[in-house]
Amino acid sequence: MSALSVHHHLFVQAMLLRRVATFDQWLKVWKQIAKVLKLRVQDNEFLTFYGQINYNIEPFGFRIDLMIDEGNGPIDVEEIQNNISSNRRAQPSRWMALVNTRSDSSSKLGSEFTPIEISLYKKIIDKIVLHSKNRFCVSYHDAIRLSSMLETPLKKSDAEKTLSAFVRKGWLSLSSNGFYTLSARARLELKAYLMENYGEDEQPPVCASCREVVMRGFKCPNGKCPKAMHEACLINNARQSNACPACKSKWSFERRIGESAPLAPYAVSAEEDESESLSTSQRHSGIVLPEEEEDIKPDLQPDSSRRRSTRSRPSQSQSRRNG
């Protein structure tokens, strides 16, 4: 391993305080630290900079990771086709986080929630991943119903406040049509959790372009191909080849993923849903929600005697999936 500089250490410290923010925000923090250290840097050096950090921290189960923001709500195919015809490259917002890559480690989210509220969040994840039929979203009414199925049911008013907190603090996204989805921030933090707790046939499809999970976009028109693409990835790929990068099938916009996907042929009853949730509850017990940091405020003093935060973030082992 190559030795990390003071610049690297201060940047990692900043990421430990917040963990997740947009790529542009972290780029700004990186330049602010460089300014304090009287270093000259250029934007194109940032990728190499955090790549050096990854080289040193990956053996310990940590990694600085990136993920595009899929957006939410229905997909506008006409707008996509217009973007493909233009010369502009799609540039979706990107999120960047310091994540734990060990499959046996707890996924951590930054907020302050009670155990009952955490249980609701886990039920919402189950509903989004397992029971949404390629929609990967839950309606407001479904989310409220899930809150009534907890071991200690939440009052409707308390459930509404909790859902609002999930959205406000970035762990769920809410579309204009009232559907909740996992935000880019949550998908970054929960990447290891999703891989650990859901089978390969249960997980969302993977983008043939960026290789991240797709919860809003399009599935490959070839039913035998498991790949999919995000809206932005599809736009950028289609300018070069209107074909699936994986199987080379001609692309179409028919097999949608997300809120625009067809509704399931029948609704799952509360009893069925509760039974299915109980059958998977043993494997979803490892989410920890520590306190939220509202702003990125890195300690820019290189002095080794600087005071550090004393708040601890306890880790719990995720339960293994039975069977």
What mean pLDDT is predicted for residues 227-247?
A: 87
Instruction: Specify the higher pLDDT residue, 217 or 85.
Output: 217
Average pLDDT rounded to a whole number, residues 41-70: 92
- Short-list 210, 250, 257, CA closest to 73: 257
Q: Report the pLDDT value the prediction gives residue 225, as an integer from 0 to 100.
A: 93
Which is nearest to 199 in space by CA: 101, 109, 279, 116? 279
pLDDT in tens, 119-166: 999 999 999 998 778 899 999 999 999 999 999 999 999 999 999 999
pLDDT above 70 as % of the chain: 76
Confidence at 318, pLDDT banded by 50, 70, 90? very low
**Digit-coded pLDDT (tens) for 275-306:** 344 434 444 445 544 444 444 555 555 444 44
DSSP state of 2: P
So where are the chain's domains?
A: 1-60, 115-283
In this predicted structure, the answer to whether residue 34 has a pLDDT above a threshold of 80 is yes
103-127: average pLDDT? 73
Q: Rounded distance, CA 150 to CA 144, Å?
A: 11
CATH architecture, domain defined by 115-283: Orthogonal Bundle (1.10)
pTM for the structure as a whole:
0.72
What is the average pLDDT value for the chain, to the nearest integer? 79
What is the dihedral sign for C-alpha 116, 118, 121, 125? negative
